[in-house]
Amino acid sequence: MNKRALFKSILFLTLAASLGAASAQTTPIKFQLDWRFEGPSALFLTPAAKGYFKAANIDLTIDSGNGSGAAVTRVASGAYDMGFADLAALMEFHANNPDAPAKPVAIMVVYNDTPASVMALKKSGIQKPSDLTGKKLGAPVFDAGRRAFPIFAKANNISGVQWTAMDPPLRETMLARGDVDAITGFTFTSLLNLEARGVKAEDVVVMPYPNFGVKLYGNVVIASPKILKENPAAVKAFLAAFTKGVKDVLANPAAAIVDVKARDGIVNSELETRRLTLAIDSVINTPNARAEGFGQISAPRLALMASQVSDAFNTKTRVNPDAVWSGAYLPTKAELNILPAKK
């Protein structure tokens, strides 16, 4: 090979290497969870542990959270690129901050049904929603179930409820002690917390919102307008990697809890496996989710929810369903077909 040919060969290889490096450029993404590292966080921690995000050229940082409202605010502020939050909390932020420069957008539904429910002890005599009329209910002021209770109350003709506020760790304790007649909370959180306080599951009356006329969506993946505009390819890659991981979690929840324990060594693996399984059965792999498709949304149902949240939360402006949701970054319907048929 003469010098001219050798030079061309070296130049070609250099250019190819640089182009390859450019195409494989890693995108850092900071992700905010809605709550602590518990069973359901395996939905994100497992694909991270298996390297799915890394294979998609995403350098992902996952942080625990302290509520959906905070997750929405942190993504809106630019502190985080993406997050996991209750869709109602996102709607409320949009409607109460119409002039905010960076309102996050929901880009994938994970909890097709809201996890919110009302729970009471059987010995209280409360058996059905109408029995809550005139009763004392307890929940933190920011609890999703409490915020959406007016929708549940309207659907079930409940009136005269008195509310008691408390910090989250005291909610189930106060119900067990009889300080309140019932509580609102996520079923897979409060039911297991009651068991940890010595209350048997068979002694608890659980009234899931979806079973009593409330068609709200639950948690969704949210993203900042900045990353959606500047790096849509990375967002699509994130959702594809996440979907692949969720399929693994659905197939083997117990194995996924290993990834949760790797992030928080003090978690009870058996308890969190139960929590994750309960979440899968009650809000992820549900009849509504299988009908609409994992990750996807029904426009009429979204519009109904926007109207209900506007009324129940008494927002400054009406929620615009077209502003809070975008399905443009979702994987194909074939790739989203991950929900196993119910046996």
Three-class SS of residue 50?
coil
Within this chain, do residues 313 and 234 fall inside the same structural domain, yes or no? Answer: yes
**Residue 22: what pLDDT?**
44
The reply to whether 170 and 314 lie within a common domain is: no
> Is residue 340 in a domain?
no
> Cα separation of 72 and 64, whole Å?
13
- The alpha carbon dihedral of 334, 340, 342, 343 has a sign of positive
158 and 181 part of one domain: yes
Half-sphere exposure of 141 (CA within 13 A, CB side): 1
Examine the fold and report which residue of 212, 234, 256 is the final residue of a domain before the chain moves on: 212
Domain boundary among 194, 212, 230: 212
Provide the domain limits for residue 124. Answer: 116-212
Exposed / middle / buried, residue 221 (Cβ in 10 Å: 0-12, 13-18, 19+): buried
**Band of the pLDDT at 58, cuts 50, 70, 90?**
very high
Question: Average pLDDT, whole number, for the chain?
Answer: 93
Token pair recorded at residue 219: 């948690």
Cα 187 from chain centroid?
14
Rounded CA gap, 307 and 288, in Å? 20
Q: In this structure, is residue 30 part of a structural domain?
A: yes
DSSP-derived pairing of the beta strands 27-32 and 82-86 = parallel
80-139: per-residue pLDDT in tens?
Answer: 999 999 999 999 999 999 999 999 999 999 999 999 999 999 999 999 999 999 999 999
Q: Which of 19-33, 170-184, 301-315, 317-331 has the lowest mean pLDDT?
A: 19-33
Residue 17 lies in a domain: no
Pairing of strands 204-208, 82-86: unpaired
In a domain, 239, yes or no: yes
Q: Is 189 exposed, middle or buried (0-12, 13-18, 19+ CB in 10 A)?
A: buried
Residue 338 pLDDT > 60, yes or no?
yes
Which of these three, 183, 212, 241, is where a domain ends?
212
For range 322-331, the mean pLDDT: 98
Token digits for 56? Answer: 């998609």
Q: Do 196 and 273 fall into the same domain?
A: no
Evaluate if residue 21 carries a pLDDT over 50: no
Examine the pLDDT at 78 and tell me if it is beyond 60. Answer: yes
pTM for this one? Answer: 0.91
What are the tens digits of pLDDT across the range 185-200?
A: 999 999 999 998 999 9
The whole-number pLDDT of residue 19 equals 47
Contact in structure between 203 and 121 (CB atoms under 8 Å): yes
Token pair listed for 15: 């250019």
- In this prediction, residue 341 carries a pLDDT of 85
The alpha-carbon radius of gyration of the chain (Å, integer) is 22
Please name the residue ranges forming H helices in 50-120. 52-55, 68-77, 87-96
Q: What is the pLDDT of residue 286?
A: 96
Beta-carbon contacts of 230 under 8 Å, excluding residues fewer than 6 positions away, are none
Q: pLDDT value at position 1?
A: 52
User: Model confidence over 270-283: pLDDT tens digits?
Assistant: 999 999 999 999 99
Same domain for 143 and 52, yes or no, is no
Q: Say whether both 93 and 225 belong to one domain.
A: yes
| Percentage above 90 pLDDT, the chain | 91
- Is residue 124 situated within a structural domain? yes
Report if residue 93 sits inside a domain: yes
Q: Are 93 and 73 in contact (CB under 8 A)?
A: yes
Q: What is the CATH number of the domain that holds 297?
A: 3.40.190.10
CA-nearest of 126, 140, 252, 128 to 186 is: 140
Domain count, the chain: 2
Pick left, alpha or beta for residue 314 (phi over 0 → left; psi -120 to 50 → alpha; otherwise beta): left
> 205: closest CA among 116, 129, 120, 115?
120
Confidence of residue 342 (pLDDT cuts 50, 70, 90): confident
Which of 33-42, 79-88, 334-343 is the least confident region? Answer: 334-343
Residue 322's Cα: distance from chain center in Å?
A: 20
Residue-by-residue DSSP string for 264-319? -TTS-HHHHHHHHHHHIIIIISSHHHHHH-TB---HHHHHHHHHHHHHHTT-SS--
211-248: per-residue pLDDT in tens? 999 999 999 999 999 999 999 999 999 999 999 999 99
Looking only at Cα atoms, what is the longest distance across the chain? 94
Query: Residue 214 class from Cβ within 10 Å (0-12 exposed, 13-18 middle, 19+ buried)?
Result: buried
Domain-embedded: residue 5 = no
User: Is the residue at 2 inside a domain?
Assistant: no
Q: How confident is the model at residue 5 (pLDDT cuts 50, 70, 90)?
A: low
Do 265 and 202 share a structural domain? Answer: no
Count each helix (H run) and each strand (E run) in the chain, helices first: 16, 10
